[in-house]
Chain A
Amino acid sequence: MNSLIPLLVAAPLAGSALLLLGGRAFDRFGHWLATALAALSFGFGLALFWDMLGRDGEHRAVTEHLFSWVPVNAFQADVSFRLDQLSMTFVLLITGVGTLIHLYSVGYMAHDERRRRFFAYLNLFLAAMLLLVLADNYLLLYFGWEGVGLASYLLIGFWQHKPSAATAAKKAFIVNRVGDMGLSIAIMLMFAEFGSFAFTPVFDSAHEASEGKLTAIGLMLLLAACGKSAQVPLQSWLGDAMEGPTPVSALIHAATMVTAGVYLITRSAAIFNLAPDARTAVVVVGAVTLLFGAIVGCAKDDIKKALAGSTMSQIGYMVLAAGLGPIGYVFAIMHLVTHGFFKAGLFLGAGSVMHGMDDEVNMRHYGGLRKHMPWTFATFGLGYLAIIGFPGLSGFFSKDRIIEAAFAEGGTEGWILGLCALVGAAVTAFYMTRVMLLTFFGEKRWQPDAEGNLPHPHEAPRTMVIPMVLLAVGSVFAGALFDINDSFLKWLEPVTGHSEGNSPLSSWTVTGLTTVCMLAGLGLAYVMYGRSPVPVVPPVGSPLTRAARRDLLQDDFNHAVLVRPGSALTATLVFFDSRGLDGFVNGLAAVIGGLSGRLRRVQNGFVRSYALSMFGGTLVLVASTLLMRSV
């Protein structure tokens, strides 16, 4: 059974290779092949899941050694996989949601000339992401990590003819490099400290290392997580990444890849548990990001960018939970899974709306779409209820547990974190209600295209609707399923461990407060956008709104703090290079050229001179040979 594990990765990898190398021959059926291979991988995942359920909690983790990758003396890196409850969760999420989004893309990308390439990249992403979560050492994880980064880059810039897409891809790639640097440094530190970067030896000997070193490793891992999961301060790329095709935004920039940072922190629990300072940094990043993303989400008129802000904010919740340590790991992953369902569903819904509205993304040009796109409306609506934490739906259970855990941290810290999380819940309800109202309710604000035709919104084809429906089902029931009998907690506890904190507030109080906050946000949004007509041209707004529209000035900040000093440094270096180094090099070249010109005159073409020089040379040679003996 364990031999199926490599096939999980191999199936989509083979699909990617076939589609990329196979050429035109695959143009007609390549997308179905890619979808089938994603589904096959999901099938393998289910089989392995079934097999895993057959064993009791302590014996569920298995490792599968494939081959020795870098066997160099003490530096041993293997391609071997670890399938435990944590990676199993991810495998099912990635392949399951991945398959649905492949299916959706069959409809969404039907008219794209480069469809085959798109599916090849999607398959490549699946393979890399599965490698990331299945690796049983950090180096192989890094390989997968870079692989998803590559796939993300290729897919954000998929419509590379648009300069904005090309720029966005580059931005995502460069910002991610900063995080990747953190991961590589963390791996080096691990190797220096433990002599290995495989999970088992590192985790087993973590308690022998000093806290300072563990904190350093933890902070570097956090940097990596910030890059990949778009957390402050490396959040700036995610909004622009929405330039990619919508299925990509759903799969990579909402459901799976951007959660890799949460996976990394949870997987490295053994290190973070022993490094409280690093954990504090993690919760700070999580709390800041969850508010940051939520505020940005409130101000955006581009439906995908509003959802991107929401993604950032929801991942902030997960990072916050992961930073809480054993109180929160399980809930971070639980929220990650439920978020995977509803956010993917929301993005697919957004894609469906754009599909029907001639690729219009501005919500101020939507309105009243619920009658024209009933399926989209229904599934999007369920996803909406799930994300705002409407009682009974997925988001309710998972978010509630995180807020509870934040309070359970105890002390002033607990209060601050808990209140942040509560405010976040209110803001989430606000901006999601705003999206909902602007898109599906109110009067039609549709704008004519260049030829003066109004869009004709219509329901999406079946290949797009089916995945939306299935994801909506997940958005509704996943949370309850996980919460009943603490089934998810029991499932994941053997890997991550769990401890109950001592919350100053009872569980029911937290639930009540959360619901009140949610209703408050919802109500405010209704008052602002449901009761009065929405202007097509956005009003000027308060300074905060204007800042939020500009992503809270993140790019201005980066420009001022990083780009400008960087350019200045480069200019200085160029100056020294051209004046100093080049001057030296050119001077040297001139000296050699001059020397060459002088020496050339000796070569005068007369045999007599040549013979003389030979004779002189012989004299010197004989004399120096004799001299060598005498000294």
Chain B
Amino acid sequence: MSASAVLAAAGGNTPSIPAPHVEYGQLSPMLVVFGAAVAGVLVEAFVPRRLRRWTQVSLSLVALVGAFVAVVVLAAQGHGAPRIDLLAMESVALDGPALFLQGVILLVAVVTVLTYAERRLEPKAGGEPADAFAAQAAATPGGEQERAAVRAGFTTTEVFPLTMFAVGGMLLFPAANDLLTMFVALEVFSLPLYLLCALARRRRLLSQEAAVKYFLLGAFASAFFLFGTALLYGYAGSVKLVDIADIVSGKTMTTAAQLSSTRSDVLLLTGLAMLAVGLLFKVGAVPFHSWTPDVYQGAPTPVTGFMASATKVAAFGAFLRLFYVAFPGLRLDWRPVLWGVAILTMVVGAVLAVTQQDVKRLLAYSSIAHAGFILTGVIAVNKQGLSSVLFYLAAYSFVTLGAFAVVTLVRDSKGEATHLSSWAGLGRRSPLVAAVFALFLLAFAGIPLTSGFTGKFAVFQAAAAGGATPLVIVGVLSSAVAAFFYIRVIVLMFFSDPKPGGPTVAIPSAFTATAIGVGVLVTLGLGLLPQYFLDLASKASLFAY
């Protein structure tokens, strides 16, 4: 093709690709976050090092709060529920679940940025207060370059734009209305997380190992997701969730691709299973969970908290959309399989946690078990199941954030003291911190008057109403096993004698204190007065279809 022909095509003489119509107002939460992420990269390039941290922290916080306000305004205007829109050429859905989960993710992100900004816990490095992240990410662990970087008081402020990119991807993930957008969102939030995992200031080798594992396995899972997308396109001739649903249910019988594949559902079912693998990996369900303990343990603790809460919210959001919008017609096929996954996840998560000796690994297995509990709500495939999962995600993510924030406080000379034996007698030395952690553990265990109870009750009720009573029984039994190891930590903290030379509890700055405070407030609030939020989740429980 000659150059002139290209010019002619671009000149607009021929009817070319129509300019996409973009609803900026309704997309504003994501646009603000992505904008701030890009601006954050520019800050790294142009703002002097002294000012960088404060600029990044304030930029991130302002953007996140602004995006949250945009979500609230959209909801107040009636977007999401009762009004449902398809945006950006129908690639993004603005419906109740999307808006609800975006709100949750943004609040989680605000709290996360607060824990990133904490600089009082680490001893000073090079005369500068240090945060939880490596002084210089590219330096060899333990090498001369790293020591020089520490001495110079370098900090990796790139964590802020990286997190903002991840948050943007997470906002898009549960709202994505076609498989390609979903895949793009998946990669947009996954790649920054791989990097963030490698940035721990202490135990850098472990951190880097975690990042590599996460990256390799994440790439593996993404491949499955993408392959599933391809198979489904082969089956339906479209990547739009709604189109796939119509073809599955037999509403549309027009496309050639569909006609050719009616003879075999292998494409459809294999594609479905592969998409499920990609998402089950992200939520950490068995048997795709094996990365979770290693990565949670190695990653910087604030990042672990972020991953354990926000990633789960976003991934379950996409999971719900996929199975409630695209494949409700196939529920007879996928429900039994997910039953198996849910049972395995609950049981393996709870049983394996029993013998853990490291707080972060314990919380990792706990998060696996919780993924199983949430799956029981997903399997219900009714409005109640949807709203209960939304509520559970909101409740669970703040408990998780709070718990990991407490983990950052208990320290010894080597950094965080995560081995459980060093937590013995913590209740004697720091009753407040121990009591707060005990509250989070009780919420994980689902003890009444905490958000954990309300959430668990809601999903189990929905599952029972959806005809999955055996699943509920397994869930309750796993909860009983899980209660054992949560309570064991409480017993350890309050009824054991402190070890001499044990860890000390660092006094955090207002950042971490606020983060923990928000966790406590939400945990108690959703436990004591859940009705408003249950109603909100119930109101938001309608997908764009």
In the bound complex, do residue A614 and residue B351 qualify as a contact, i.e. CB atoms below 8 Å apart? no
In the bound complex, do residue A614 and residue B272 qualify as a contact, i.e. CB atoms below 8 Å apart? no
Query: What is the minimal beta-carbon distance from B225 to any residue of chain A, in angstroms?
Result: 11
Let me know if B23 is at the binding interface, CB within 8 A. no
List B contacts of A628 (CB < 8 A).
332-334, 336-337
In the bound complex, do residue A622 and residue B352 qualify as a contact, i.e. CB atoms below 8 Å apart? no
List B contacts of A624 (CB < 8 A).
336-337, 340
In the bound complex, do residue A625 and residue B334 qualify as a contact, i.e. CB atoms below 8 Å apart? yes
Let me know if A538 is at the binding interface, CB within 8 A. no
List A contacts of B212 (CB < 8 A).
607
List B contacts of A600 (CB < 8 A).
352, 355
Let me know if A613 is at the binding interface, CB within 8 A. yes
List B contacts of A617 (CB < 8 A).
277, 286-288
Contact with B along A594-607 (1 / 0, CB 8 A): 01110110110101
**Contact check: which of B270, B286, B288 meets A626 at CB < 8 Å?**
B270
In the bound complex, do residue A622 and residue B290 qualify as a contact, i.e. CB atoms below 8 Å apart? no
**Contact check: which of A589, A592, A609, A621 meets B337 at CB < 8 Å?**
A621
Let me know if B29 is at the binding interface, CB within 8 A. no
Let me know if B130 is at the binding interface, CB within 8 A. no
**Given A599-B351, A607-B213, A614 contacting B287 (CB threshold 8 A):** yes
Let me know if B224 is at the binding interface, CB within 8 A. yes
Alpha-carbon distance A589/B350, docked complex (angstroms):
12
**Contact check: which of B216, B224, B272 meets A618 at CB < 8 Å?**
B224
Let me know if A610 is at the binding interface, CB within 8 A. yes
**Contact check: which of B277, B333, B340 meets A629 at CB < 8 Å?**
B333
Let me know if A455 is at the binding interface, CB within 8 A. no
Query: What is the minimal beta-carbon distance from A581 to any residue of chain B, in angstroms?
Result: 15
Query: What is the minimal beta-carbon distance from B147 to any residue of chain A, in angstroms?
Result: 28
**Given A592-B354, A599-B352, A610-B217, A621 contacting B332 (CB threshold 8 A):** no
**Contact check: which of B217, B274, B352 meets A603 at CB < 8 Å?**
B352
**Given A614-B281, A629-B269, A621 contacting B341 (CB threshold 8 A):** yes
In the bound complex, do residue A603 and residue B290 qualify as a contact, i.e. CB atoms below 8 Å apart? yes
Let me know if B515 is at the binding interface, CB within 8 A. no
In the bound complex, do residue A625 and residue B270 qualify as a contact, i.e. CB atoms below 8 Å apart? yes
Contact with A along B260-274 (1 / 0, CB 8 A): 000001100110111
In the bound complex, do residue B274 and residue A618 qualify as a contact, i.e. CB atoms below 8 Å apart? yes
Chain A: residues with Cβ within 8 Å of the partner, total of 28
List A contacts of B334 (CB < 8 A).
625, 628
Residue of A nearest to B272 (CB): A625
Let me know if B62 is at the binding interface, CB within 8 A. no
Contact with A along B303-338 (1 / 0, CB 8 A): 000000000000000000000000000001110110
**Which of B213, B216, B274, B337 counts the most A-chain CB atoms under 10 A from its CB?**
B337
List B contacts of A626 (CB < 8 A).
266, 269-270, 273
Query: What is the minimal beta-carbon distance from A600 to any residue of chain B, in angstroms?
Result: 6
**Given A624-B340, A629-B333, A611 contacting B351 (CB threshold 8 A):** no
Let me know if B232 is at the binding interface, CB within 8 A. no
List B contacts of A618 (CB < 8 A).
224, 273-274, 277
List A contacts of B221 (CB < 8 A).
614
Let me know if A593 is at the binding interface, CB within 8 A. yes
In the bound complex, do residue A593 and residue B354 qualify as a contact, i.e. CB atoms below 8 Å apart? yes
Alpha-carbon distance A603/B286, docked complex (angstroms):
12
**Contact check: which of A589, A592, A614 meets B290 at CB < 8 Å?**
A614
Let me know if B481 is at the binding interface, CB within 8 A. yes
Let me know if A23 is at the binding interface, CB within 8 A. no
Query: What is the minimal beta-carbon distance from B281 to any residue of chain A, in angstroms?
Result: 7
Let me know if B276 is at the binding interface, CB within 8 A. yes
List A contacts of B286 (CB < 8 A).
617
Query: What is the minimal beta-carbon distance from B473 to any residue of chain A, in angstroms?
Result: 16
List B contacts of A593 (CB < 8 A).
354-355
Alpha-carbon distance A452/B541, docked complex (angstroms):
86
**Given A596-B351, A622-B274, A625-B270, A613 contacting B290 (CB threshold 8 A):** yes
Residue of B nearest to A593 (CB): B354
Tell me if A's interface is mostly helix, strand, loop or mixed: helix
Let me know if A583 is at the binding interface, CB within 8 A. no
Let me know if B110 is at the binding interface, CB within 8 A. no
Chain B: residues with Cβ within 8 Å of the partner, total of 39
Alpha-carbon distance A620/B270, docked complex (angstroms):
11
Which residues 240-289 of B have a CB within 8 angstroms of A? 265-266, 269-270, 272-274, 276-277, 281, 286-288
**Contact check: which of A597, A605, A609 meets B355 at CB < 8 Å?**
A597
Residue of B nearest to A624 (CB): B337
Alpha-carbon distance A607/B210, docked complex (angstroms):
10
Contact with A along B223-235 (1 / 0, CB 8 A): 0100000000000
Query: What is the minimal beta-carbon distance from B344 to any residue of chain A, in angstroms?
Result: 9
Let me know if B348 is at the binding interface, CB within 8 A. yes
Let me know if B484 is at the binding interface, CB within 8 A. yes
**Contact check: which of A592, A613, A621 meets B481 at CB < 8 Å?**
A592
Which residues 22-38 of A have a CB within 8 angstroms of B? none
Alpha-carbon distance A599/B289, docked complex (angstroms):
13
List B contacts of A614 (CB < 8 A).
217, 220-221, 277, 281, 287-288, 290
In the bound complex, do residue A622 and residue B217 qualify as a contact, i.e. CB atoms below 8 Å apart? no
Alpha-carbon distance A318/B484, docked complex (angstroms):
58
**Contact check: which of B213, B288, B352, B484 meets A589 at CB < 8 Å?**
B484
**Contact check: which of B265, B287, B336 meets A613 at CB < 8 Å?**
B287
Let me know if B291 is at the binding interface, CB within 8 A. yes
Which residues 345-365 of A have a CB within 8 angstroms of B? none
Let me know if A616 is at the binding interface, CB within 8 A. yes
Let me know if B294 is at the binding interface, CB within 8 A. yes
Residue of B nearest to A621 (CB): B273
Alpha-carbon distance A344/B53, docked complex (angstroms):
81
**Given A592-B351, A618-B274, A626-B269, A605 contacting B294 (CB threshold 8 A):** yes
Query: What is the minimal beta-carbon distance from A590 to any residue of chain B, in angstroms?
Result: 11
List A contacts of B336 (CB < 8 A).
624, 628
In the bound complex, do residue B355 and residue A610 qualify as a contact, i.e. CB atoms below 8 Å apart? no
Let me know if B293 is at the binding interface, CB within 8 A. yes
Which residues 318-341 of A have a CB within 8 angstroms of B? none
List A contacts of B276 (CB < 8 A).
621
Residue of A nearest to B224 (CB): A618
Query: What is the minimal beta-carbon distance from A79 to any residue of chain B, in angstroms?
Result: 27
In the bound complex, do residue B287 and residue A596 qualify as a contact, i.e. CB atoms below 8 Å apart? no
In the bound complex, do residue A603 and residue B332 qualify as a contact, i.e. CB atoms below 8 Å apart? no
Alpha-carbon distance A363/B220, docked complex (angstroms):
95
Contact with B along A560-572 (1 / 0, CB 8 A): 0000000000000
Query: What is the minimal beta-carbon distance from B403 to any residue of chain A, in angstroms?
Result: 21
Query: What is the minimal beta-carbon distance from B21 to any residue of chain A, in angstroms?
Result: 37
List A contacts of B217 (CB < 8 A).
607, 610-611, 614
Alpha-carbon distance A25/B84, docked complex (angstroms):
62
Alpha-carbon distance A286/B224, docked complex (angstroms):
86
Query: What is the minimal beta-carbon distance from B218 to any residue of chain A, in angstroms?
Result: 11
Alpha-carbon distance A620/B277, docked complex (angstroms):
11
Residue of A nearest to B281 (CB): A614
Residue of B nearest to A623 (CB): B273
Which residues 474-525 of B have a CB within 8 angstroms of A? 481, 484
Alpha-carbon distance A605/B209, docked complex (angstroms):
10
Query: What is the minimal beta-carbon distance from A631 to any residue of chain B, in angstroms?
Result: 9
List A contacts of B277 (CB < 8 A).
614, 617-618, 621
Alpha-carbon distance A621/B293, docked complex (angstroms):
22
- Chain A to chain B: the 10 pairs with minimum beta-carbon distance, closest first: A617-B287, A610-B290, A596-B355, A622-B273, A596-B354, A625-B273, A628-B333, A621-B273, A625-B269, A596-B351
A sample of 13 more A-B contacts (CB under 8 A), given A602-B290, A607-B217, A628-B333, is A592-B351, A592-B481, A595-B351, A596-B352, A597-B355, A614-B217, A614-B281, A618-B274, A620-B287, A621-B277, A621-B341, A624-B337, A625-B334
17 contacts between A and B (CB under 8 A): A596-B353, A600-B355, A603-B290, A603-B294, A605-B294, A611-B216, A613-B287, A614-B220, A614-B221, A614-B277, A617-B277, A622-B269, A622-B274, A626-B266, A626-B269, A628-B332, A628-B333
Footprint of B on A, CB under 8 Å? 589, 592-593, 595-597, 599-600, 602-603, 605, 607, 609-611, 613-614, 616-618, 620-622, 624-626, 628-629
